[in-house]
Amino acid sequence: MIAPGVFTYAELLGVLDRLETPPGFKSELVRGEIVLTPQGREHSEIIQAGQEAARAAGVPRWRSVSDVLSPFPGSRSGFCPDVSILRRTADRAAKPLPSSDIAAVIEVVSGDLGEKDYGIKVDEYAAAGIDAYLIADPFKGLCTLYSEPVAGRYPTPTTHPFGDVVTFVADDTEFVLDTADWPRIG
């Protein structure tokens, strides 16, 4: 953890952008702290399924990215969503990726059992106007879908057990995820 107040938000984003994360981890800036999160095979399989759903929906490969830094200055955070589906109007060359360019996010719960995913990220993604936010939780075998934010907040989410087909709309495109073969942990 880096002592609060030592670095500006811009400096922390710069550190995160240059950080050489160890294999098997991803790094994010969460409320001013750089956090390393373990990533396993289960995460990789679900991330690939999310990107395949984007391709099946006709989204070009460049609009479905994984672990790309996006600033959320309202919480002094810089998230690297497991899958970001970008808007048609997104700037392909933007670095870091503006949150306004993100239409949908898929996050896979990791070692912290979703503390960030079910809390901070719900608030930040809704405030940023992200159309849909899907949390895939391999520990519980559940997907939680937040969609259609109103006044910077998501209405009540829907929950789907792994095995269901989950459908959501983002940037006027329908995405269909068949979770029948999604792996569980534990």
Task: Please give the structure tokens belonging to residue 22.
Answer: 């160890």
pTM to 2 decimal places: 0.93
Terminal-to-terminal C-alpha distance of the chain: 29
List the beta strands (DSSP E) in 39-172.
Answer: 64-65, 70-72, 77-79, 83-86, 102-108, 132-137, 142-147, 158-161, 165-170
Rounded Cα distance, 103 and 28, in Å: 20
What pLDDT tens digit does each residue of the chain (186 aa) get?
455 567 899 999 999 889 999 998 999 999 988 999 888 999 999 999 999 999 999 999 999 999 999 999 888 999 999 999 999 999 999 989 999 999 999 999 987 677 899 999 999 999 999 999 999 999 999 999 999 999 999 999 999 999 999 999 999 999 999 999 999 998
Dist. CA 36–CA 100, nearest whole Å: 25
Give the architecture (CATH level 2) of 40-178.
Alpha-Beta Complex (3.90)
Sequence-distant (6+) residues with CB within 8 A of 92 are: 62
Structure tokens at 138: 């391999």
Sorted by where each begins, the domain ranges of the chain are 40-178
Q: Which residue has the tokens 């790094």?
A: 27
Cα(91)–Cα(19) distance, integer angstroms? 24
SS3 56: helix
Are the C-beta atoms of 17 and 97 separated by less than 8 Å?
no
* Residue carrying structure tokens 């306004």: 100
Residue 31 and residue 5 in contact, taking contact as beta carbons nearer than 8 Å: no
